[in-house]
A and B are shown apart, each in its own frame.
Chain A
């Protein structure tokens, strides 16, 4: 198997489905994104009912959704849902989880270290790089100017 750049990887992800008209994709994104966030809200309220404070409940909700999305990716179900839901499945934290699991699974054949271990960060890596960098810049501004 050839090494693939992130761009090629995404292209491969997309080519399976022909372009769907916007009047279909946008309502679907709203519906699926809304449903995923509603599931998150229900989880969060459940955890709070069980005695967690808001912050703990919120973090546990993210972890729950990450787990579910990872599992559904492994079962090859996430891709099928994402084909219909589009950005509705990508923009929530489920999309981040899928972006971690999907290449890890796909490149497992290339080895546990440079295949699974390295390819896991093909998309998640940039997200963490830019997210952390932005947060450090903000931290410097906080420290210097008391933002």
Chain B
């Protein structure tokens, strides 16, 4: 039963993040690239303010899967790296925490682009 509740929370919060994105697209004509940038930066800011971690604790993947979660990971990485390594952590924290996702996107992206055919633009 517990897993069902966890999924419900993830669905609710994840869905709401996407509703905000959709409203931004429909009403502000913000391009998708700007939405992605806005989400990641918002995630960093929300995490810096300490508001994002409670949401992650409550909604799990509902908060980590949207791109704000990527921003949260950046901020969290920096916070921990600064505590550990001082000034060097300012520069290393963000990439270290998100390295898995970025490398995965680059590597899988490369493979897929290499192996598949572009669609026809007919």
Spell out A's residues near B (CB within 8 Å).
6-7, 10, 13, 22, 25-26, 28-38, 40-45, 58-59, 61-63, 65-67, 70-71, 73-76, 79, 86-88, 90-93, 95-97, 99-101, 104-106, 108-109, 112, 116, 120, 122-124, 126-128, 130-132, 134-136, 138-143, 147
Asked if A65 and B65 make an inter-chain contact with CB atoms under 8 angstroms apart, the answer reads yes
* Distance (whole angstroms) from the CB of A10 to the closest CB of chain B: 5
How far, in Å, is A38 (CB) from chain B's closest CB?
5
- Nearest Cβ distance between residue A147 and chain B, in whole angstroms? 7
Q: Which residues of B contact A (CB under 8 A)?
A: 3, 6-7, 9-27, 31-33, 35-37, 39-41, 44-45, 48, 60-62, 64-67, 69-71, 74-75, 77-79, 81-83, 86-87, 89-91, 93-95, 98, 100-102, 104-106, 108-116, 118-119
Give Cα A95 to B75, complex, Å.
20
CB nearest neighbor in A for B86: A143
A83 to chain B, nearest CB (A): 13
Q: Which residues of the partner chain A approach B67 to less than 8 Å between Cβ atoms?
A: 91-93, 95-96, 127
User: Beyond A66-B101, A70-B105, A120-B106, is A34–B116 a contact (Cβ under 8 Å)?
Assistant: no
Nearest-Cβ distance from residue B13 to partner chain A, whole angstroms: 7
Q: Which B residues lie within 8 Å of A123 (CB)?
A: 32-33, 36
- Evaluate contact between A131 and B65: CB separation under 8 angstroms: no
Find the residue from A44, A63, A132, A140 having the highest chain B CB count within 10 A: A132
Q: Check if A106 sits within 8 Å of B7, measured CB to CB.
A: no
Q: Are B109 and A38 in contact (CB under 8 A)?
A: no
How would you classify the secondary structure of chain A's contact residues: helix, strand, loop or mixed? helix
Q: Please, how many angstroms separate the alpha-carbon atoms of A23 and B113 in the complex?
A: 35
B95 close to A41 (CB less than 8 A):
no
Cβ contacts A to B, 16 pairs, < 8 Å: A6-B31, A26-B22, A37-B11, A37-B62, A40-B14, A42-B3, A45-B3, A71-B112, A76-B116, A86-B22, A87-B25, A108-B113, A135-B44, A139-B81, A139-B93, A142-B83
